[in-house]
Amino acid sequence: MLNLLVAVCLTYVVFLFVVAFAADRAARRGRGAWLRSPLIYTLSLSIYCTAWTFYGAVGFAARSGLEYLTIYLGPTLVMIGWWWTLRKMVRIGRSQRITSIADMISSRYGKSNTLAVCVTLLAVIGTTPYIALQLQSVTLSFAAFSSEDRLTGAGNLQLTALYVALGLTAFTILFGTRNLDANERHHGVVIAIALEAVVKLFALLAVGIYVVWGLGDGLTHMIERIDASKLAEFEVSGSRWVGLTMLSAAAFLCLPRMFQVLVVENQDEGHLRTAAWAFPLYVMLISLFVVPIAVAGLDLLPSGANPDLFVLNLPLMAGQEGLAILSFLGGFSSATSMVIVTAIAMSTMVSNHIVMPIWLKVTGGTAVMSGDMRNVALLARRMSIGGVILLGYLYFRLSGAGTALAAIGLVSFAGVAQFLPALMGGLFWRGATRLGAMAGLGVGFALWLYTLFLPSFGAGVILPVDVMENGFLGLSWLRPQALFGADGMDPLVHAVMWSILLNTAAFCAVSIITFPKPVERLQGAQFVNVFEHSRTAGSWSGGLAQSEDLLIMAQRIMGSDEAQTLFAQAARAQGLSGYLPEPSPDFLEALERKLSGSVGAATAHAMISQIVGRATVSVEDLLAVADETAQIMEYSNQLEAKSAEQARTARQLREANEKMTQLSVQKDGFLSQVSHELRTPMTSIRAFSEILRDHDGLRPGDQQKYATIIHDESLRLTRLLDDLLDLSVLENGQVELNVQHGTLAETLDRAVAAAGGAPGPLRITRDRAAENVALRTDVHRLAQVFINLIANARKYCDAADPALEIRVVLQGRDVIVDFVDNGSGIALADHALIFEKFSRLGETKAGGAGLGLAICREIIQRLGGSISYLPGQGGAAFRVQLPHAM
Amino acid sequence: MSDPDIPRPIFVGRRTYRRRRMADAAALLPVLGTLLLLMPLLWAGGQDGARTSDVMIYLFCVWGGLGVLSGVVSRYLRPEPSEDSPEVSPADATLVLRAAEHDGVTGPE
């Protein structure tokens, strides 16, 4: 039986891997629009129902009747009230590119990393028991299948928990860290979770239907049985009913995993409209058969049986092994999906707010360094996933699988619910400050630890018996379960009441007496009035020289391709060519947003301010905060936007005009250059031919010498005329291309051989594997371009040990060939000039008419590609981009 | 909001009106839900208590009803770019500009 179970379980896991993999692939190929459907979103919300729901709800019901419903009624109220809170959270999450609940809170309170670290640590403490709970439930359910101790579930299968933990870590790392940008959806994970949501609902309904119609005689009979059982009376204390509903509603908003699926993975605000009715119905169906199962379990199973395992033991007892295995898979699904999403959410928080800032500080703290930061960030995230799951496993081992499932779950809920005042205050109250949030969180958590978490281990384990009975330092009003004389209350309600109450009080009081920093006030206005103006305030201001540093930094976080695309797009939007946009406030904001999707708002803010300097809060920004009439601001913003656009158009016109003037100057220069270039050889040819003509008595040696000079000069003349002709033919589009098949490697080989003749110790590094690209183009012309670029590096690279690296990258249908040398590069001001005719930078120590790059550009354009100067590579770098086939 | 310079429509089209009332309904729904879910506590406090089976049937009916109601309300809340929405529409902006021109603030007559 156990072997069969293991086999089914493994098959199921393999199936999940395959589904996740297929979904990821479909999404990456742009297929699978259904992956973004509101239904999938709703199903992914069902990770609210963990193994605690699957097994624990029945146990809860068997112990205290209908009270278990409060755990699902709270989220139902939140969901049908989406217009109040969730809509706002999702809108803010999308407009600020929020990556986690810690990021949300830190972002709201002035992008403070201290606050993010607090929230992260508290979330780790709050969720670790919950992960342990999931591992425990899987272990218990395995134990239920092994023959001995099957009804109490006390079998010793610790190894199971270890295997499950390892498998979950592997899955999460594989599908949860595909991309660094946490805002990008993890399609594989989401689809696996949606599938698991269906499995657990199906399994629980199947067991319920079997219990009502298979073991019993239908609904009326079931109701009679309920009336006859010990659960017949509805004995729920009012305080627990209200308290637990509020607690579960709060936890629904604050649990890191719920925040992850509700806000971070949300792709479309409109999905909330579907979830608003579908999610309540889902949890309703999940809890529909809980009481019947509990009553049947109490009736039919021996009195010592663990009520948390009724869902498994009822089918097992009746010999329905198929149903039992289905039920096991339901529980397994609930546990695994919760651990996966929690691990993703927690790892984002831990790596963005703790590991990365420390790493940046340790490695010198500057954002402009060599090395790819992306790998560090991804590694940090992967390690954090392992760490989070490991912590859960350790807690499970140390706590000893004893406590009832429901108890651990509620302790966890109460822990994360402490985020609520800071979160809601941040969304609705502009006066909330960072210090207020920290004070509230601190007070709330201290109380939670003292009144609920530590006592939950039992008197005498962590808190001494003396403290439990007589209070801290013998002060009776400090008894953990009867604080301030609140004697005789239910311990959970007592703890939740005091912690949330004093948390809120501290939050409000400190917020009122402290004064927020400008960034806090701006962010506050952004969050509270997110529906009125969705622009971020807080403008950066920087100079053009910093663009290159920014590019270098962005390359390290986003990867060079994506960063270059982003910068090139921004430059084009500003009407500039090349890769370096002006660091306008708009661009810097967009860049900060983009980066914060990868490393969190606080880190992104810090990194940009390292390069650009402090963010300046302009008078207009402050006005936006001070001025209550957001409507007026909208109008003036629109007018401003228009005038900014006009300014941009004017700048483009000015640029065009400048270029025209330059061209005209260049034309004059071109003519004088051509006449000069033609005249010099002409003069010497004329002079020496006159000598040959007029002097009879020349010695044969001299004759020979003069004739050679004439010959050399006329060769130079021919070459110049050839180049000019070549250029004019290319420019007029009359060139005939000789399109052939060839490979890039051959073409480069030929170019290196041809350009290699000249003296000079230039080292050329190539990547032969990447160069094996088939081309269909004019390979001779292409080789001509490569020869030119290599020869240029040879001529102009001024490093002591000159080296040229040729990199080849495939991008869609294009081949990109970069020529990067290690010299001092080309000054920013000259970037636009080098492709012009007769442009030779500085002194012409190396001969050449300055036509080479102009010809290169024309050729590459004829071949359907482009050539550009690539800044930020540590030397002169040229990028040739051309299509595989013409 | 109270600035006289900015024309904020007092009367809006039928569809926008309906949508706004539905937004009100969406905001009130959790209040209704809370009240309905507290009802069983009244029964439990009564003379002879309440039976679990009755409360269970009541709660699941309320639950399903709330789900359906929420679905109906949400259907109306589809975001639509309506002409007389409170957001700034191009038409409004031109109106403002024209009014401003009329007052001689911008541009020659």
CB A862 within 8 A of CB A781: yes
Higher pLDDT, B68 or A874: B68
* Mean pLDDT of the A15-25 span: 85
pLDDT for position A16: 85
Longest CA pairwise span in chain B (Å) = 83
- Read off the pLDDT band of A157 (50, 70, 90): low
* Mean pLDDT of the A195-212 span: 90
pLDDT for position A74: 92
Contact A277 B67 (CB under 8 A): yes
CB A479 within 8 A of CB A468: yes
Q: What is the ipTM of this complex?
A: 0.72
Q: How far apart are CA A276 and CA A42, in angstroms?
A: 9
Residue A371 reports pLDDT greater than 70: no
List chain A residues with CB under 8 Å of B79: 269-270
Q: What percent of chain A is predicted at pLDDT more than 90?
A: 9
Nearest to B30 among A80, A277, A291 (CB): A80
pLDDT for position A150: 45
pLDDT for position A403: 55
* Mean pLDDT of the A237-258 span: 90
From B83's Cα to the closest Cα of chain A, the distance in A is: 17
Residue A619 reports pLDDT greater than 70: no
Nearest to A733 by CA among A566, A862, A850, A820: A862
- Read off the pLDDT band of B8 (50, 70, 90): low
Instruction: Tell me, yes or no, if B17 comes closer than 8 A to chain A by beta carbon.
Output: no
Q: What percent of chain A is predicted at pLDDT more than 70?
A: 86
Coil, strand or helix at A302: coil
Residue A789 reports pLDDT greater than 50: yes
**Residues A147 and A273 both lie in one domain:** yes
Contact A79 B70 (CB under 8 A): yes
Coil, strand or helix at A146: coil
The burial of B100, by beta-carbon neighbours within 10 Å (0-12 exposed, 13-18 middle, 19 or more buried), is given as middle
From A879's Cα to the closest Cα of chain B, the distance in A is: 43
Contact A76 B1 (CB under 8 A): no
pLDDT for position A509: 94
CB A189 within 8 A of CB A175: yes
Last residue of a domain, one of A329, A345, A360: A360
**Residues A845 and A784 both lie in one domain:** yes
Residue A628 reports pLDDT greater than 70: no
Nearest to A157 by CA among A498, A396, A456, A490: A396
Residue A436 reports pLDDT greater than 90: yes
- Read off the pLDDT band of A632 (50, 70, 90): low
Last residue of a domain, one of A573, A602, A628: A628
Q: How far apart are CA A151 and CA A160, in angstroms?
A: 18
**Residues A578 and A454 both lie in one domain:** no
Most confidently modeled of A181-190, A235-244, A548-557, B3-12? A235-244
Q: Which residue in chain A is spatially nearest to B2 when comparing CA positions?
A: A629
* Mean pLDDT of the A517-522 span: 80
Q: How far apart are CA A711 and CA A770, in angstroms?
A: 44
Residue B85 reports pLDDT greater than 50: no
Residue B15 reports pLDDT greater than 60: yes
- Read off the pLDDT band of A153 (50, 70, 90): very low
Higher pLDDT, A505 or A645: A505
pLDDT for position A723: 79
Contact B52 A80 (CB under 8 A): no
pLDDT for position A500: 93
CB A24 within 8 A of CB A256: no
Structural domain tally of chain A?
5
pLDDT for position A151: 42
Nearest to A288 among B38, B43, B60 (CB): B60
* Mean pLDDT of the A670-693 span: 82
pLDDT for position A284: 92
Q: What is the pLDDT of residues A812-831, one digit of tens each?
A: 788 888 888 888 877 777 77
**Residues A744 and A868 both lie in one domain:** yes
Question: Considering only A247-261, A480-494, A796-810, which range has the smallest mean pLDDT?
Answer: A480-494
* Mean pLDDT of the A201-216 span: 88
Residue A492 reports pLDDT greater than 80: yes
**Residues A440 and A562 both lie in one domain:** no
CATH number of residue A708's parent domain: 1.10.287.130
* Mean pLDDT of the A20-33 span: 79
Last residue of a domain, one of A303, A333, A360: A360
Contact B53 A232 (CB under 8 A): yes
List chain B residues with CB under 8 Å of A632: 3, 5-6
Question: Considering only A62-66, A126-130, B49-53, B86-90, which range has the smallest mean pLDDT?
Answer: B86-90
pLDDT for position A842: 53
Compute the C-alpha angle A46/A52/A57, nearest 5°: 95
At a CB cut-off of 8 Å and minimum separation 6, what does A525 contact?
Answer: A430, A537, A624, A625
Q: How many CB pairs under 8 A join A and B?
A: 129
**Residues A714 and A813 both lie in one domain:** no
- Mean pLDDT for chain A? 80
List the beta bridge partners of residue A482. Answer: A479
List chain A residues with CB under 8 Å of B91: none
Contact B56 A66 (CB under 8 A): yes
pLDDT for position A202: 92
**What Rg value do the Cα atoms of chain B yield, rounded?**
24
Instruction: Tell me, yes or no, if B47 comes closer than 8 A to chain A by beta carbon.
Output: no
Q: Which two tokens stand for residue A11?
A: 């098959």
Q: Specify if A376 maps to a domain.
A: no
CB A53 within 8 A of CB A267: no
Parent domain of A463: 434-514
CATH number of residue A874's parent domain: 3.30.565.10
Q: Specify if A367 maps to a domain.
A: no
pLDDT for position A188: 82
pLDDT for position B5: 46
Instruction: Tell me, yes or no, if B58 comes closer than 8 A to chain A by beta carbon.
Output: no
Residue A325 reports pLDDT greater than 60: yes
* Mean pLDDT of the A385-400 span: 83
**Residues A273 and A126 both lie in one domain:** yes
At a CB cut-off of 8 Å and minimum separation 6, what does A700 contact?
Answer: none
Residue A416 reports pLDDT greater than 60: yes
At a CB cut-off of 8 Å and minimum separation 6, what does A216 contact?
Answer: A222, A225, A292, A296
At a CB cut-off of 8 Å and minimum separation 6, what does A300 contact?
Answer: A215, A314, A317
Instruction: Tell me, yes or no, if B61 comes closer than 8 A to chain A by beta carbon.
Output: no
pLDDT for position A368: 47
**Residues A221 and A344 both lie in one domain:** yes
Count of beta carbons in the 10 Å neighbourhood of residue A460 = 11
Q: Give CA torsion, residues A728, A729, A733, A739, to 10 deg.
A: -140
Q: Which residue in chain A is spatially nearest to B60 when comparing CA positions?
A: A284
Nearest to A276 among B45, B52, B70 (CB): B70
Question: Considering only A367-376, A672-681, A810-819, B67-76, which range has the smallest mean pLDDT?
Answer: A367-376
Kindly give the residue spans of alpha helices, DSSP state H, lying in A756-834. 768-771, 779-796
Coil, strand or helix at A578: coil
Q: How far apart are CA A261 and CA A659, in angstroms?
A: 52
Q: Which two tokens stand for residue A580?
A: 């370096």
Question: Considering only A75-84, A462-471, B24-33, which range has the smallest mean pLDDT?
Answer: A462-471
C-alpha distances (whole Å) from A627 to each of A532, A631, B71 are 13, 10, 38
Q: Specify if A374 maps to a domain.
A: no
Higher pLDDT, A504 or A468: A504
- Mutate which of B2, B66, B72 to test chain A, going by most A C-beta atoms within 10 A? B66
Count of beta carbons in the 10 Å neighbourhood of residue A367 = 22
Q: Specify if A526 maps to a domain.
A: no
Q: Specify if A113 maps to a domain.
A: yes
At a CB cut-off of 8 Å and minimum separation 6, what does A687 contact?
Answer: none
Higher pLDDT, B51 or A486: B51
Nearest to A558 by CA among A584, A597, A600: A597
Higher pLDDT, A697 or B58: B58
CATH number of residue A41's parent domain: 1.20.1730.10
Q: What is the pLDDT of residues A158-188, one digit of tens each?
A: 677 788 888 888 888 877 776 666 556 678 8
Q: Specify if A406 maps to a domain.
A: no
Nearest to A343 by CA among A494, A171, A522, A209: A171
List the beta bridge partners of residue A165. Answer: none
Q: Specify if A19 maps to a domain.
A: yes
Counted residue by residue, chain B has a size of 109
List chain A residues with CB under 8 Å of B50: 233-234
Question: Considering only A37-41, A458-462, A738-742, B3-7, which range has the smallest mean pLDDT?
Answer: B3-7
For A185-238, the three-class secondary structure string (H helix, E strand, C coil) is: CCHHHHHHHHHHHHHHHHHHHHHHHHHHHHHCCCHHHHHHHHHHCCCCECCCCH
**Residues A775 and A816 both lie in one domain:** yes
Q: Which two tokens stand for residue A545?
A: 């020289």
Q: What is the pLDDT of residues B28-57, one digit of tens each?
A: 888 999 999 888 888 877 767 778 888 888
Contact A227 B8 (CB under 8 A): no
For A63-121, the three-class secondary structure string (H helix, E strand, C coil) is: HHHHHHHHHHHHHHHHHHCCCCCHHHHHHHHHHCCCCCHHHHHHHHCCCCHHHHHHHHH
Question: Considering only A287-296, A570-579, A675-684, B70-79, which range has the smallest mean pLDDT?
Answer: A570-579
- Read off the pLDDT band of B76 (50, 70, 90): confident
Q: How far apart are CA B92 and CA B98, in angstroms?
A: 10
pLDDT for position A419: 93
Question: Considering only A49-58, A105-114, A315-324, A661-670, which range has the smallest mean pLDDT?
Answer: A661-670
pLDDT for position B88: 41
**Residues A164 and A197 both lie in one domain:** yes
Contact A269 B68 (CB under 8 A): no
Q: Which two tokens stand for residue A384?
A: 């954090």
Longest CA pairwise span in chain A (Å) = 139
Please report, for chain A, how many H helices and E strands are present, in that order. 36, 9
pLDDT for position A96: 78
- Mutate which of B6, B28, B31, B37 to test chain A, going by most A C-beta atoms within 10 A? B37
Q: Specify if A304 maps to a domain.
A: yes
